[in-house]
Amino acid sequence: FYIYILYSLASDKYYIGYSNNAHRRLIEHNSKQINSFTSKHRPWILKALFSVGEIVYPIFRTDLLVV
């Protein structure tokens, strides 16, 4: 899976998430119609992408990593 860092051009904010398909998640963050943190700070661009292998157990909470 991947850990990704997104940057909001409009709000000057960063968002950290994880997914097995980071490019699909970027599209979802920029287009989903749900009321969420990322929907309020569009558009997002991908600033960093880290491949970390297979997820065995979620050892971190991404909701605590929003900057």
Q: Is the pLDDT of residue 50 over 60?
A: yes
* Pairwise CA distance, residues 9 & 47, whole Å: 11
pLDDT in tens, 23-39: 999 999 999 888 888 99
Measured CA distances, 57 to 22, 46, 51, 65, 67 (Å): 19, 25, 16, 17, 23
CB 13 within 8 A of CB 41: yes
- Quote the pTM value: 0.76
* Pairwise CA distance, residues 24 & 43, whole Å: 15
